[in-house]
Amino acid sequence: MTELLALGAKQKQESTQLPLFAENLDSFWDKEIRPLFTDESLCFKVKTRNGNHIKYVNLDNGATTTPFATLKQHVDEMLDTYGSVHRGSGQKSIITTREYDASRDVIREFVGSSSQNYVIFAKNTTEAINGAATLWAKKPGKILVSDIEHSSNLLPWVTRDEVVQYRTQPDGSVSVAEIEDIFKAHENRPEAERIKLLTITGASTITGYRPPIYEIAALAHRYRAKMFADVCQLIQHERVDMRADDDPCHLDFVAFSGHKMYAPYGTGVLLGPKEFFDSSYPYQIGGGNLPYITRNLEIKRFYTERAHDPGTPNAMGAIAIAKAIQIIEALGRDRIAEYEHSLVEFTYTRLKLIPGVKVHIPGDNLAHVIPFDINGFDGRLVAEILAQEYGIGVRAGAFCTYEYIRKLKNISDEQDCEIAKQVESGITRNIPSIIRASFAVYNTLEDCDRFIDAISEIARNGLDHYLPNYKQDETTGVWSVIDK
Ligand SMILES: Cc1ncc(COP(=O)(O)O)c(C=O)c1O
């Protein structure tokens, strides 16, 4: 870390606008973050196009994250005593069942949930929201959904229920007053026509924009609707608090994924009120989630979380999330937020000064991701160059947030129709895309510096410099290195 210390000192001298971390940035990383990850993952080397082996810089953390090392050890240990959950009387079964059930309490506490909420496991956020949407579809009323959602918080509702879409501002930000207008317009209609649930992201996957979810929750409750927040891009970065049930700003439902919070073991979580789940018929049924079936096929049900936990669960996934939570709590969520913010702000302030670079951050909503473009370049080519020439992983694409990206790229209705026509004929090349650098707690100032240097160089070199070495697939738009 000596290089990093020197770099940090140099950069602090260079700019008085650098964020001030309450404690020494390098020592926080060195002493507390670094030991949480294996050297193999932190120092993973990749071969670049010129044949060099260099340390990989992972700036694609909005997609998924590297597991905590101690979590790997913990899961390995738990596998030694692994047994059937809720179904056996042997010791291994008792140990695994105890740990599995205990993970629910850890999760509940982590999100400040009341004891009146169930913790339902799914394989990821997508499955958690599909589960919730299936149950909500049986209740009368409409779902209010924003137009900046990831498709995982849009399609499960759209395909099962009647949806009212809230159109955000041109930059994707939310006007609470406009949401209220929608509630008002539905307020005095028959129950089937009223808004029963509002669902919105806690943080945008593409810009990091954080809608004011607590204010929106208070509004939803005023109009007798429930509030669902997809917090899978928020919870690993900052505190999410569902709050007490009698707090008007409380979140009724939240969903998130273990793999985005350093626990990639195949589990996601849905939390919501007991009374909602107990009054809903489980959306998947079979072994383990009901106590009895009569000879006449009458099904007796549980009125516990088990009713919504069909089959043999992914116990290791649940245990892994709980362990990740304990590690995050020990590190301190506020310190994580401050540390990550320092890195993002450091990168953002430099990136936007590079000639030819356009950063797409609405207002001053800088969060944990930086979406940007370089003039004249297809974003997917930039991502490919970053990987092939600089050993830096980012992502370029539409990020499953098609309307938000249309807004950011000013795509007209005519262009939208043309793209759709092309997609129908198999051409996906012209779907708008953007480049996203997304940060996690294991990133360092050195990573940021390498990234900024790489982007400056790419922008300076210009497109023509790269075209002899890269080719684009006419149909998919994917870029690859030309073998010579
Ligand atoms: C805001 C948001 N919601 C939902 C999802 C889907 O998450 P998962 O792939 O874990 O189901 C993502 C994935 O990136 C996301 O960013």
Q: How far is the CA of 15 from the centre of ligand 1 (A)?
A: 36
C-alpha span between 78 and 96 (Å, rounded): 8
Atom 3 of ligand 1, nearest CA residue: 150
C-alpha span between 133 and 253 (Å, rounded): 11
Q: How far is the CA of 404 from the centre of ligand 1 (A)?
A: 15
Query: What's the Cα-to-Cα distance from 470 to each of 181, 430, 480, rounded to whole Å?
Result: 50, 18, 6
Beta bridge partners of 470: 481
- Evaluate: CB of 233 within 6 angstroms of ligand 1: yes
Beta bridge partners of 161: none
DSSP state of 31: I
Pocket probe mutation, ligand 1, options 121, 129, 151, 152, max atoms within 8 Å of Cβ: 152
Atom 14 of ligand 1, nearest CA residue: 63
- Evaluate: CB of 207 within 6 angstroms of ligand 1: no
Three-state SS string over 35-58 comes to HHCCHHHHCCEEECCCCCEEECEE
The torsion of the CA quartet 459, 461, 467, 472, rounded to 10 degrees, works out to -20
One-character DSSP codes across 108-141: HHHTT--TTEEEEEESSHHHHHHHHHHHHTTSSS
C-alpha span between 245 and 464 (Å, rounded): 59
C-alpha span between 125 and 136 (Å, rounded): 16
Sequence length of the chain is 484
pLDDT score for 26: 78
The pLDDT of residue 80 is above 70? yes
Pocket probe mutation, ligand 1, options 240, 260, 265, 368, max atoms within 8 Å of Cβ: 260
Other CB atoms within a 10 A radius of the CB of residue 264 amount to 19
The pLDDT of residue 12 is above 50? no
Task: Give the whole-number percent of the chain exceeding pLDDT 90.
Answer: 91
Kindly list the domain boundaries of the chain, sorted by start residue.
1-66+332-398+433-484, 74-330
Same fold? 1-66+332-398+433-484, 74-330: no
* 314-349 residue pLDDT tens: 999 999 999 999 999 999 999 999 999 999 999 999
For the record, the structure tokens of 354 come out as 């590079």
Domain made up of 74-330: CATH architecture: 3-Layer(aba) Sandwich (3.40)
Pocket probe mutation, ligand 1, options 149, 233, 259, max atoms within 8 Å of Cβ: 233
Q: Are 451 and 347 in contact (CB under 8 A)?
A: yes
Q: Are 253 and 228 in contact (CB under 8 A)?
A: yes
* 356-402 residue pLDDT tens: 999 998 777 899 999 999 999 999 999 999 999 999 999 999 999 99
The pLDDT of residue 13 is above 80? no
Beta bridge partners of 267: none
* 148-186 residue pLDDT tens: 999 999 999 999 999 999 999 999 999 999 999 999 999
* 227-253 residue pLDDT tens: 999 999 999 999 999 999 999 999 999
pTM of the model: 0.93
C-alpha span between 7 and 5 (Å, rounded): 5
C-alpha span between 306 and 294 (Å, rounded): 19
C-alpha span between 249 and 217 (Å, rounded): 5
pLDDT score for 100: 97
Superfamily of segment(s) 1-66+332-398+433-484: Aspartate Aminotransferase, domain 1 (3.90.1150.10)
